[in-house]
Copies of this chain bind each other. A is one copy, B any other.
């Protein structure tokens, strides 16, 4: 670079610093010091290496820029201003009510593809987008991820380094802002960039250690990254708060405005009005396509046959792969159990193996959907809990993800509680705009696998390990938000509500009760969120008592979803919730259902007790 180019970059970096300090001051909050350390790194990137069309964020050729250190939004938004994407007037709306410039980046801004702010997520998500570039789109876009040094302590970062190296994601660049200071004090390794290099390099990465405030070294590092055959980690030694002596390299200055903004701006050389003409990507080729869409031809099962819903998922998803060239399958080393293996076999180009790294699997799904691919990620329902923070954040990313959790509930039997998904419904219901589906038979499962394909938000399919009887024909529709009334009469004394394996127990209980002269309505609430409020409320009005039965802990699951239907001041029925309440051990599936009190006998018994008590006490509510 010429001296003039160097000067221009230094000036740009100082402008980013001034704007970062300014917007944090206006907001009275934010992270200017974490922005100041990375300003030179981002100035060189923005001016010389990023290929991005700010007028067309959906351009498939665009590079991708992820702030894994999401708190550095003062810097990110100052870059947007320098690129002409936002005005100075908008910059100073930072963190105000209604502003797109939130405290941490979210896709409310068209140039932000994924939300960050929970540390350790940006790089694993970037791995997903880089995978899309290499294996799906087959386009040369780069994925630049600005990481903090503190977040390298997260195991998810290790998963990301491992996976990117293994897949040879040469267009992924991790720019690591080693500013030595975390939120509450020094990091484990301080400025020892070599310590990081020794951990990253063996994983198949190119590592480069530089002075993160020297534009020349930064430039050389980016150029080296662009010609590397491996993913590149640039370990940049920086000073937190660089450029503002009142805060530079000091503890206790994290996450707050600088003490004297005027003095800081003056020290930084005052405001500037540099506008960067960010280079747009040059056209190469359209994204790769895996063929034309076709009609989804799900597998079909005969009524009365016994089919495991996990099996139906596997067969249906493989079939969906033929109909939908945009769906992709993700596994964390359990595809033989989840039955994702069928898709893997038939669509190896669209199948991704993450080994036992659920966080990286979910993060990659987020990164893949950034480019329009439709990921289905499957593991045991219990092990989705490993990636719960990633699922939570995916909702803030407005990501469209499809999750599949197999081996739901105690009905798995002998393996014991570590393998049983018993909190998955609660966890997934409590994700913003999520969908929670729990089919009870093969044909219903196959239909729901298709329904999920175009569902927005986080949709979750809960499947079972063991076989259950097929009760629906192959041509029936199961819209999300619907339910099925399986038994109904004008003199139903009670309504039994189940999903998955408990539908079959409820049906058997209804048969038993009918033999005793008690009519019970039975509803299959295969869509737990959104739940079919209309049908549930009608049952409440017509039968007066709802008995929910679920293979899940008593908290946050099907029972709570049904209760919620009445939480708007409307008249409420009597409710009985049957759920798992004691820690299970090992036992056969039937023994487990019996011990937990969610089998047919327990349901019938609960109904009898309720009806007896009601006839005795008959106490009205107000």
Contacts and interface: CB of A to CB of B under 8 A. Distances in A.
B423 A431 contact: yes
A564 B555 contact: yes
A298 interface: no
Interface string A121-151: 0000000000000000000000000000011
Contacts of A490: none
Contacts of A106: 416-418, 585
B102 A586 contact: yes
Copies of this protein in the complex? 2
A385 B389 contact: yes
A158 interface: yes
A182 B564 contact: no
Contacts of A561: 555
A353 to B, nearest CB: 9
A430 B418 CA distance: 14
Interface residues of A, number: 128
Contacts of A540: 621
B159 A571 contact: no
A336 B183 contact: yes
Contact of A388 (B388, B574, B613): B388
Nearest to A591: B97
Interface in A383-426: 383, 385-386, 388-389, 392-393, 395-396, 414-419, 422-423, 426
A103 B393 contact: no
Interface string A579-607: 00001011110010001000000000010
A548 to B, nearest CB: 8
A107 to B, nearest CB: 11
Given A27-B414, A587-B97, A419 B104 contact: yes
B356 A154 contact: yes
Interface string A354-374: 111111100000000000000
A120 B27 CA distance: 42
A162 interface: yes
Nearest to A577: B567
A157 to B, nearest CB: 7
A435 interface: no
B554 A564 contact: yes
Considering residues A335, A341, A552, A575, which has the most beta carbons from chain B within 10 angstroms of its beta carbon? Answer: A575
A291 interface: no
Contact of A427 (B383, B426, B574): B426
A18 to B, nearest CB: 21
A567 B559 contact: yes
B333 A184 contact: yes
A270 interface: no
A156 B155 CA distance: 5
A180 interface: no
Contacts of A97: 585-588, 591, 595
A328 to B, nearest CB: 18
A429 interface: yes
A117 interface: yes
Please list the 3 inter-chain residue pairs (A to B) with the smallest Cβ-Cβ separation, ordered nearest first: A155-B155, A117-B418, A544-B622
25 contacts: A27-B414, A29-B415, A95-B414, A95-B586, A97-B585, A102-B417, A102-B585, A102-B586, A104-B415, A106-B416, A117-B419, A118-B386, A150-B356, A155-B357, A158-B158, A182-B356, A184-B336, A385-B389, A388-B388, A388-B389, A426-B427, A540-B621, A555-B560, A571-B621, A573-B621
